Chains A and B, each alone.
Chain A
Amino acid sequence: MAKVRMKRIEIISLLTDGKSIIERLQRRGVVDLLQYEIPDDQNGIEKIDTSPSIQLFERNSAAVRQALAILNEYSPEKQSIMASFEPRTAISTAEFGEMAEKTEMSIRTANEIIKLNQKINENKASLKARIQYAESLEAWSFLEVPTGFVGTSQTAAFIGTLTGQWDRERLIESLKPDPDTDIPAEVEIVYSFREQSGIFILTHKEYQEVCTQALRKLGFAQPPIITEKPPSVVIEEYRQAIDELEQENERLISDIISRADMRQQLLFTLDYLAMRADKYNALQDIAITRQTMIIEGYIPAENADSLVKELNEKYLLSITVSEPDEDENAPVAFKNSMPAAAIEDITSSYSMPSKDDVDPNPVMAFFYYLFFGLMLSDAGYGVLMALACGLILKFKKPEGNMKRNMQKFMLCGLSTVFWGALFGSWFGSFVLKVNLFGQEISLSPIWFDPVAQPMTLLILSFALGFIQVVVGLGVKFYMLWRSGDKLGAVFDIGFWWVLFAGILTVLASSMVSIPRLDTIGIGVAAAGAFGLLLTQGRSSPSIFGKLLGGLGSLYGITGYFSDILSYCRLMALGLVTGIIGTVVNTIGSMGGKGIAGTILFIIVFIFGHSVNLGINVLGAYVHCNRLQYVEFFSKFYEGGGRPYSPLKVNTKHYKFKEETTNV
């Protein structure tokens, strides 16, 4: 249990070896580089500005990422749901070199894919415009002249629209200036809808004026699209163009799909570019002179020797490894064995420990698993969780965070089985009677049934909460004691313990009949309170201030009270899981015992319990975290440390095989 001991490392090497050394450091992944501060009076030391290269890497990897997204759109990769659990593909250094050489090619491919996709999108846009155009001309397709036709030397043509539905007779009637005058004209209704009609009128030039006036009254308007060819011809031309565009797009898409075999190379390139960007970022931290390079950073003490030895063998350089100064902000990393290791990320997502903090994980681990199990509290669900996580760990071999999470939830599952068995909850109240070796084992509660005795569970929750709060204070006691503030430890923590012991004694006196136990309890509690009253204001300069400080601190008892009350969530969440599980079983068994009833039961059972499991795992997880963060950490944990983030191979898809050859 502990935080990793960090050492300060300084490497001074020849500039010519610079890149090679940085690459090696990245491969080893143990040095957290420190930005080198150039002292004011130092001439000749410079920094390297690598930001243009970094920007280039970022541009390229954005292109590769876009290309991959396009590839996935047109040629989706079949991926099982389990894929996210799988480890990265391991490749040897030789394979790495080979693939790295193809970087330029794959960036070219990526840009080709992007260009193809752009062309497809342009085509799609013009396809859409053409289809709309052809559709709006569709109504005019019976017209045998262009819609822009105005007539010949002897004739005048009117092509356009009128509002409302029209037929030929009505239109002819409407053209007449008076009921007795016929206008000799060829009248056609091209189309007639409820809102609008398209008309065609051909008449002799001399009647042009009469017709124009008559039509104006009717609200005649120009056709929406003026064509130079008959509409049907235009539509046909557009159809052909649309077909061509569609064919071209199909060609372009198959062009993209034909590049799908580059997917792995593209993924590799993404990794490779990220690695190089990291490396160039690291180069910004170091300082150079004309001939040498200076690297500063932190390294875990346990890794220092092997790295120093390796570097000394390969290069001509000078390495100094030293203890960091007291006031230095050295990075912090955890080093725990299981099961505490699996919950390190719970602590780090709160805050990394400051340099005075102890590593809270080992102490927290015990409570974490215990509380999680109590809140989920159904042995059936626990078995499922532990099995699922265990199988994934065994067969998919996840790495990093995923591995930790699987380990964490496997242990949480085991703890859930423990509590579930104590409470007799196996998929709700689904009491199984198992015939094992001729003996009937019924899954009734080993301890008590929480639904029948909720108060017992409530008291258990408070008791566990009380223990965690006292343990949290214990850690604080240890920290104060270790830092030399032994009086502070006794005053700030010890007196509280005395007070708690007194209150507990009073509570116990109501349950067991030992004469005068309550008086003893009151006495002890008063002693503790008196101690607090006298000591808690000790930093204040005046007597009055000292007493007031003491009184104020006694008010802190309400804080402890509400902290412990907060643990009633252990009971509430535990009850909810079991009751809903039971309700699921009740609903499922409503169908009776026949075949239909059995099928109904199976469906309701699977669906209901999946939902219940999901919601309650979520609840147990967030409330378990909250109890650690708010109730436990507040007792001793400061946080605010800088997480250790060494320069390393930070890839998503590929990793190096454990190196056997010496490169």
Chain B
Amino acid sequence: MFDQMGILLAIAGAVVAALIACIGSAKGVGMVSEAATAVVIEDPSKFAKLLILQLLPGTQGLYGFVVAVMVLNGIGVLGTINDISTSQGLAYFVACLPVAIGGWLSAIAQARVAVTGVSIVSKTPNESSKAIISATLVEFYALLSFIISFLMVMNINKL
């Protein structure tokens, strides 16, 4: 079991990246969708505009997923399993943390902005692009977390 420690840690990292980021996105999309549904009841024609806001906090889950896939790819779970040392495994695990936690928290922060954006769309539909841009300001930090996790995961096999 202990000679497999590296693989175990790496997989734990992939789990954390996908799971926590996806939880954040699920919560975020859920929050915005709840608010948006209330508006759609009144005026179904606003659905398309609201859909963009609803989807915005969904990207964090995607970033977590991509990092998880890259980890699995790196350790060869998807093909032949590579030899992963314990320290490499630990490195994979740690490298997954930015996208997991950054994605999780930024999805929720972004959802809050998007929820207020929903009221912009319901009152002044022509200004919806401003609501969308405000929400993407938060997204940047999820992107930074993703990039740093990605770069680390891609280079760990050089350790």
Contacts and interface: CB of A to CB of B under 8 A. Distances in A.
Interface of A: 349-350, 451, 454-455, 458, 566, 568-569, 571-573, 575-576, 579-580, 583, 586, 615, 618-619, 622-623, 625-626, 629-630
B66 interface: yes
Q: Which of B56, B130, B150 has the most CB of A within 10 A?
A: B150
Q: Which of B66, B126, B151 has the most CB of A within 10 A?
A: B66
B32 to A, nearest CB: 14
Given A349-B129, A618-B55, A622-B56, A572 B151 contact: no
Q: Which of A451, A579, A615 has the most CB of B within 10 A?
A: A579
A615 B59 contact: yes
B3 to A, nearest CB: 28
Interface string B115-156: 000000000001001101100110110011011001100100
Contact of A454 (B78, B136, B139, B154): B154
Contacts of A568: 143-144, 147
- Overall SS of chain A's interface: helix
A579 B66 contact: yes
B62 A576 contact: yes
Contacts of A629: 133
A627 B136 CA distance: 10
26 contacts: A349-B126, A349-B129, A454-B150, A454-B151, A458-B147, A566-B140, A568-B143, A571-B147, A572-B143, A572-B150, A575-B150, A576-B62, A576-B63, A576-B66, A576-B146, A580-B62, A580-B66, A615-B58, A615-B59, A618-B55, A622-B133, A625-B132, A626-B133, A626-B136, A630-B133, A630-B137
Nearest to A453: B154
B12 interface: no
B52 interface: yes
Nearest to A565: B144
A619 B146 CA distance: 15
B127 to A, nearest CB: 8
B69 interface: yes
Contact of A572 (B55, B65, B146): B146
A579 B143 contact: no
Contact of A623 (B58, B62, B126, B136): B136
Contacts of A455: 151
B69 A583 contact: yes
B70 A579 contact: yes
Contacts of A626: 133, 136-137
Nearest to B51: A618
Contacts of B69: 579, 583
A461 B87 CA distance: 32
Given A454-B151, A575-B150, A615-B58, A622 B136 contact: yes
Contacts of B146: 572, 576
B43 to A, nearest CB: 12
Contact of A569 (B55, B65, B130, B143): B143
Given A568-B144, A572-B63, A575-B150, 13 more contacts: A349-B129, A350-B129, A566-B140, A568-B143, A569-B140, A576-B66, A579-B66, A580-B66, A615-B55, A615-B59, A623-B139, A625-B133, A630-B137
A621 to B, nearest CB: 8
Interface in B51-100: 52, 55-56, 58-59, 62-63, 65-66, 69-70, 78
A625 B154 CA distance: 29
Given A575-B66, A579-B66, A626-B137, A618 B52 contact: yes
Contacts of A576: 59, 62-63, 66, 146
Contacts of A625: 129, 132-133
A623 B58 CA distance: 14
Contacts of A630: 133, 137
Nearest to A582: B69
A448 to B, nearest CB: 14
A619 B69 CA distance: 20
5 tightest A-B CB contacts, nearest first:
A349-B129, A572-B143, A626-B136, A579-B66, A569-B143
Contacts of B140: 566, 569
Contacts of B132: 622, 625
A614 to B, nearest CB: 8
Contacts of B58: 615
A580 B69 CA distance: 9
A450 to B, nearest CB: 11
B62 A615 contact: yes
B126 to A, nearest CB: 8
Contacts of B129: 349-350, 625
A104 to B, nearest CB: 29
A454 B148 CA distance: 11
A619 B58 CA distance: 10
Contacts of B143: 568-569, 572-573
Contacts of A566: 140
A586 B55 CA distance: 25
Q: Which of B56, B70, B147 has the most CB of A within 10 A?
A: B147
A586 B78 contact: yes
Contacts of B56: 622
B152 to A, nearest CB: 11
A583 B14 CA distance: 15
A579 B70 CA distance: 9
Contacts of B136: 622-623, 626
A579 B59 CA distance: 14
Nearest to B132: A622
Nearest to A566: B140
Nearest to A576: B66
A456 to B, nearest CB: 12
A454 to B, nearest CB: 6
A566 B59 CA distance: 17
A661 B154 CA distance: 70
Contacts of B154: 451, 454
Contacts of A579: 66, 69-70
A451 B150 CA distance: 10
A164 B129 CA distance: 64
A168 to B, nearest CB: 53
A630 B130 CA distance: 11
Contacts of A573: 143
Nearest to A452: B154
B151 A622 contact: no
Contacts of B52: 618, 622
A572 B98 CA distance: 14
A553 to B, nearest CB: 24
A458 B147 CA distance: 9
B25 to A, nearest CB: 11
A482 to B, nearest CB: 29
A350 B52 CA distance: 17
Contacts of A580: 62, 65-66
